[in-house]
Structure 1
Amino acid sequence: MRNRAGILKAARRLVTERGTDVAMGEIARASGVAVGTLYRHFPNKADLLAAVVTQYVEVLAEDAQDAWARVEAGRADAAQELLEFLERALEMISRSHAAKAVAQVLGAQVEYSEPETRATEALERLIEAGRASGRLRDDLAVSDLYILMVFYPGDGPAEVRRRWLELIRPGLLGAGAQKERTCEEGASRSTSDGV
Structure 2
Amino acid sequence: MPDHAGRAPLRADAVRNRANILRAARTLIAARGEQAGMDEIAREAGVAVGTLYRHFPTKADLVGAIVAEMIERVFSALDAAVARVEAGGGALAAITDLLREISEAAGTDRAVKEALVNRADGTHPYAELDQRARDGLARLVAAAHAEGTLRDDVTTEDLVLILATLPGDELPEPARRRWLRLALRGVTREDLPD
TM-score, length basis structure 1: 0.72
Partner residue, 1:132:
146
Name the CA shift for 1:55/1:69 in 2 (closer, same or farther; >3 Å): same
2:95 pairs with 1:86: no
The separation in 1 between residues aligned to 2:34 and 2:70, in whole angstroms, is: 18
Count of aligned pairs: 172
The separation in 2 between residues aligned to 1:141 and 1:21, in whole angstroms, is: 34
2:171 pairs with 1:156: yes
Q: Kindly report the root-mean-square deviation, in angstroms, between the aligned alpha carbons of the 2 structures.
A: 3.1
The separation in 1 between residues aligned to 2:16 and 2:90, in whole angstroms, is: 36
CA deviation profile, 1:13-41 (whole Å, cap 9, x unmatched): 21343456644343234335554543232
Q: Greater CA deviation, 25-34 or 62-71?
A: 25-34
Alpha-carbon contact 1:54-1:110 (below 8 Å) kept: no
- Whose helix proportion is higher, 1 or 2? 1
Partner residue, 2:187:
172
Alpha-carbon contact 1:60-1:89 (below 8 Å) kept: yes
- Point out where structure 1 has 5 or more consecutive residues left out of the alignment: 186-195
- Point out where structure 2 has 5 or more consecutive residues left out of the alignment: 1-14
Alpha-carbon contact 2:34-2:63 (below 8 Å) kept: no
2:85 pairs with 1:71: yes
Alpha-carbon contact 1:71-1:77 (below 8 Å) kept: yes
TM-score, length basis structure 2: 0.72
Alpha-carbon contact 2:29-2:110 (below 8 Å) kept: no
CA deviation profile, 1:103-134 (whole Å, cap 9, x unmatched): x8xxxx95221221111111110111111011
Name the CA shift for 1:117/1:9 in 2 (closer, same or farther; >3 Å): farther
Name the CA shift for 1:129/1:19 in 2 (closer, same or farther; >3 Å): closer
Alpha-carbon contact 2:17-2:47 (below 8 Å) kept: yes
Name the CA shift for 1:60/1:99 in 2 (closer, same or farther; >3 Å): closer
Alpha-carbon contact 2:31-2:110 (below 8 Å) kept: no
